[in-house]
Amino acid sequence: MFMNDARFKRMAKEYEALRSTQNTIMDGLEDVLPAMASAIDANSKGIQENREAIQENREAILVNTSMLQAIIEHLEVPYEEKPPMGFRQG
C-alpha cells in the first residue's frame, strides 16, 4: 500500500509540474508570437534583398566575363576552353 501511495504522489507531482510548465509556455506565447512574427518579416525582407543583390552580382559577373573575353580576343591571348595553369608561351 505504501508503494502505491508513493507512486501516485510521484505521478501527481509530475503531472502538476508538466501542467505548470505548459501553462507558463502558453502564457508566454502572447509575448513571444508577435516578436516571432516581426523577426520572420524582417528575415523575409533580408532574404529578398539578398536575392536581389545576388542577381545584380550575377549580371555584373556576366558583363565582366564578356569584357574579359573581348580583351583576350583583342590581345590575341592564347586561351583554350579550359586554360592550363598560367599562359602558354609562344
Using CA atoms, how far apart are residues 90 and 86, in angstroms rounded to an integer? 13
The string of pLDDT tens digits covering residues 54-67 is 999 999 999 999 99
| Confidence at 85, pLDDT banded by 50, 70, 90 | low
- 3-state helix/strand/coil string of the chain: CHHHHHHHHHHHHHHHHHHHHHHHHHHHHHHHHHHHHHHHHHHHHHHHHHHHHHHHHHHHHHHHHHHHHHHHHHCCCCCCCCCCCCCCCC
Quote the pLDDT of residue 46.
97
pLDDT of 72 over the 80 cut:
yes
Quote the pLDDT of residue 37.
92
Quote the pLDDT of residue 81.
65
The string of pLDDT tens digits covering residues 1-46 is 667 788 888 888 898 999 998 888 888 888 888 889 999 999 999 9
Using CA atoms, how far apart are residues 28 and 36, in angstroms rounded to an integer? 12
Q: Could you tell me the pTM of the whole model? A: 0.53
87 within 8 A of 78, measured Cβ to Cβ? yes
Quote the pLDDT of residue 38.
93
